Amino acid sequence: MNAKLNELKRRFNSVEMFTISSLNTQKRHKLSTRYSVKEQVKWIAFDDLPTFGNRPSLFQWDEGNEDSHATRYTNYIRNDFLDADYLNGYEVKDVHANEHYWKTQFLQGTTDVVVFEQIGALMEQDVTILAFELKKEIVGNDENQAIGELLAANLMSSKRPVVLLTDLYNSHYFFWLGQTESTHTVTVHGTSFMEIHKAATFARLILVPNKLLRRNAASKIGDWSDDLAYDDDIGNLDDFEDEMGPEERASWVMTKKLRKWLPLVPPRFRYCDPTRDPPLPPIGMYS
């Protein structure tokens, strides 16, 4: 019996714990394999994304490392980048000093700033929606750290959070987990912006998707999905295309495209009917 217990302890102690801040390409490969996540990020362009709200000023970094700016960048994110007017029901919090903010079975570490719902959850990690990893200058290995934070955040939060790797200047990289492509694998999706107003708009859409999406869905979704092939025949309607009127045919074509487009975007962008007033609740990406 003692021998069996000792063997179990040995196996448990031999399990590799990954520290997010020290993730390199090799460790990311191991982590992706362990959590059945595809290593290659699937990048998506949102070039025609219209902006809304105030245009944020560019954050000014001073001497010292990122952590020395914690109070300033947290206030900047809350009041300027995200705009406090869009944060009703959310809290913006600096967590960089909590080395175990994200702690799962195989993965632990922290991020710099999180945005979570104020709903009285037992742990704020359970309702985190957006996490910021801030760098004065973004270098190659920073993507590994951001992906590590993304995996940890999605393991702990029920909100399918998005991670933003940014210098709060001209480099902004969003990462989120896409829809499961099979019973075993998940894809990391990403998009990037150089222009800070577009990046701020994308972040605000994650928190309050209805304001812009309701007004621009018809034209913008059409632009973004032009290069997508049609989906499989829905309800055998292909046989009735000749009998459709112009509006009915356009709606049918868009529906087929949307079935391919929607899994690519962050979960809170998804609406049953973005033109409905009031809008229907968002469809969770994993529903």
d(CA 26, CA 214): 43
d(CA 30, CA 145): 14
Q: Angle at which helices 142-156 and 25-34 pack, to 10 degrees?
A: 20
Dig out the tokens for 80 from the structure.
Answer: 């300027």
Residue 5 in any domain: the answer is: no
Residue 264 in any domain: the answer is: yes
Determine contact, residues 280/273, Cβ cutoff 8 Å. yes
Mark whether 26 and 147 lie in a shared domain. yes
pTM above 0.75, yes or no: no
Mark whether 198 and 224 lie in a shared domain. no
Determine contact, residues 109/84, Cβ cutoff 8 Å. no
- pLDDT-derived band at 255 (thresholds 50, 70, 90) equals low
For the cut 60, the answer to whether the pLDDT of residue 198 exceeds it is: yes
- pLDDT-derived band at 272 (thresholds 50, 70, 90) equals very low
Dig out the tokens for 117 from the structure.
Answer: 């719902």
Residue 125 in any domain: the answer is: yes
Q: In sequence order, what E strands does the chain have?
A: 18-19, 42-43, 90-94, 102-103, 107-109, 113-117, 128-134, 162-166, 172-177, 188-193
Mark whether 59 and 191 lie in a shared domain. yes
Give me the pLDDT at residue 36, please.
83
Mark whether 63 and 184 lie in a shared domain. yes
Residue 286 in any domain: the answer is: no
Which residue range forms the structural domain that includes residue 235?
A: 210-269
Give me the pLDDT at residue 254, please.
62
75-124 residue pLDDT tens? 999 999 999 888 888 999 999 988 888 888 888 889 999 999 988 767 89
| Domain boundary residue, one of 207, 230, 258 | 207
Residues 6 or more apart whose CB falls under 8 angstroms from that of 23 comprise 31, 141, 144, 145, 147, 148
Determine contact, residues 34/44, Cβ cutoff 8 Å. no
218-253 residue pLDDT tens? 344 444 444 444 445 445 455 556 667 776 766 666
Residue 274 in any domain: the answer is: no
Mark whether 235 and 137 lie in a shared domain. no
For the cut 70, the answer to whether the pLDDT of residue 280 exceeds it is: no
Residue 4 in any domain: the answer is: no
Which one is predicted more confidently, 218 or 73?
Answer: 73
Mark whether 69 and 106 lie in a shared domain. yes
